[in-house]
Amino acid sequence: MNLEEVKKFLDEQKENEEVKSYLQGLSEVTLDGATNFLESDEGKKLLQPKLDSYFTKGLDSWKANNLEKLIDAEVKKRFPETDPKDIELQEVKNQLKQIQQDKLRESLKNKALTVATEKKLPVALIDYLIGDSEETTLDNVGQFEEVWNSQLQVLVSEKLKEGGITPEKKEHTATFTIDQIKNMSPEEINKNWEAVQQVMASNN
């Protein structure tokens, strides 16, 4: 008798008392029977999806209730919130620092202007000569002086060459400024060569 024949027989004899008794005996469930079934491959196949579903739901619920709190706590631990008083204090410190820097720059600018004026240097570019300290600023002014005088000498020489004039010493001397020398013609430079040399020497 195959399975289909068994099914047909039980269906036909379902009202038979002996058959009913047999079927009821098969439907009785015991703890040992349930345990054995759940440990079998068939039982595991049936139970595992249920367990996975319950675990997923439980994990989602835990995340919703606890994960955000844990993240917030860790963020605060790594990046403590700054007290408003500390922020205000830092702003005041930054303002004071800026004021000090402005005062220092103004002082250095005045120093550079004084030195440049004494050396008869142009002051239009003085802002570019200001450094981080007085030493750096004076060093910048000194380098600018060297470049300026060097270029001025080149200018004087070029003017003399343009006029084809050889400088001659004169008995009388006059006093000129660097700006006046720059505007002289070759003839004027030659005429006042000794005075020009004195001015150039005083600016070296």
Q: Assess whether 129 and 158 both reside in one domain.
A: yes
Residue 120 lies in a domain: yes
Residue 41 lies in a domain: yes
pLDDT, averaged across the chain:
75
Average pLDDT over residues 182-193: 74
Domain finish residue from 45, 80, 115: 80
Q: Assess whether 105 and 40 both reside in one domain.
A: no
pLDDT tens, residue by residue, 148-182: 888 888 877 777 777 665 555 545 455 677 777 77
Taking 80 as the threshold, does the pLDDT of residue 143 lie above it? yes
Residue 186 lies in a domain: yes
The token pair at 45 is 């196949």
Residue located via tokens 């989602």: 60
Burial degree of 71 (CB within 10 A; 0-12, 13-18, 19+)? exposed
Give the integer Cα–Cα distance in Å for 105 and 109. 6
For the CA atoms of 27, 31, 34, 36, what is the dihedral angle to 10 degrees? -120
Q: Assess whether 176 and 130 both reside in one domain.
A: yes
Q: Assess whether 176 and 159 both reside in one domain.
A: yes
Q: Assess whether 189 and 91 both reside in one domain.
A: yes
Give the integer Cα–Cα distance in Å for 149 and 161. 18
Parent domain of 152: 84-202
Q: Assess whether 142 and 198 both reside in one domain.
A: yes
Taking 70 as the threshold, does the pLDDT of residue 128 lie above it? yes
For residue 1, the model assigns a pLDDT of: 45
Indicate the pTM of the whole model.
Answer: 0.41
pLDDT tens, residue by residue, 17-41: 765 665 565 555 555 655 665 577 7
Q: Assess whether 71 and 100 both reside in one domain.
A: no
Helix (H, G, I), strand (E, B) or coil at 110: helix
pLDDT tens, residue by residue, 177-186: 777 777 777 6
How many domains does the structure of the chain reveal?
2
Taking 80 as the threshold, does the pLDDT of residue 103 lie above it? yes
Residue 25 lies in a domain: no
Residue type, 83: D
For residue 139, the model assigns a pLDDT of: 92
Average pLDDT over residues 177-197: 74
Residue 121, by phi and psi: left (phi above 0), alpha (psi -120 to 50) or beta? beta
